[in-house]
Chain A
Amino acid sequence: QQKVQQSPESLTVSEGAMASLNCTFSDGTSDNFRWYRQHSGKGLEVLVSIFSDGEKEEGRFTAHLNRASLHVSLHIREPQPSDSAVYLCAMSRGTGGYKVVFGSGTRLLVSP
């Protein structure tokens, strides 16, 4: 079963400074990678979906995927205090009724 490791466990950045989050996975069988955000006590919100190596930008959120190095990252440009949340990376394979495997999350705190 695919294993997903996120780092760091927690991160504090100042408002406006770039925030970078990382995710490594155990094998290259996954096709689809996503980054989610979860505010305290809320459901998950998808931020970026990326399906091929390279970069994908959605507003202030940019994901980088490198399957060869089993790594996917998320960069948040100009983070704001409202971006303080837990960020989860997730990956899956393209089969019907697919199962998504999540990382354990990075808790981001953006200080004003």
Chain B
Amino acid sequence: DPKIIQKPKYLVAVTGSEKILICEQYLGHNAMYWYRQSAKKPLEFMFSYSYQKLMDNQTASSRFQPQSSKKNHLDLQITALKPDDSATYFCASSQDGGANSDYTFGSGTRLLVI
């Protein structure tokens, strides 16, 4: 059974629309993260949360808003979608926010904005 569930697996959206990417982890971890992987670019850190609090935000645009309704959930809301937002978005979690904790990654949501 997957320990981190990301939904949907694939998503096609129209420019200007809004979408929410879902992430739930069943590992009992206290820290969760979002990363983005665009074509030809390294995996890029977006957000980190620890105990449902935002710890770090490296996303320049306020169009990306993480939402944590429960400790094991970290959804990503993206508003006013642009074609440049097309990428695979990975959710990850770790036991805590310490650098010695290994990440577990979800299998990603592949977003295409047309």
Contacts and interface: CB of A to CB of B under 8 A. Distances in A.
A4 interface: yes
A44 B105 contact: yes
Chain A binding surface, main DSSP class: loop
A4 B97 CA distance: 21
Interface size class of A (residues with CB under 8 A): 20 to 34
A96 B103 contact: no
B41 A104 contact: yes
A6 to B, nearest CB: 9
B98 A94 contact: yes
A97 interface: yes
B105 A94 contact: no
A58 to B, nearest CB: 11
Given A88-B43, A97-B50, A102-B43, A51 B100 contact: yes
B99 A44 contact: no
Interface in B53-108: 55-56, 58, 90, 92, 97-100, 102-108
13 contacts: A36-B105, A42-B107, A42-B108, A44-B92, A46-B102, A92-B99, A94-B98, A94-B100, A97-B31, A98-B97, A98-B99, A99-B45, A105-B42
Interface of A: 4, 31-32, 34, 36, 41-46, 49, 51, 88, 90, 92-105
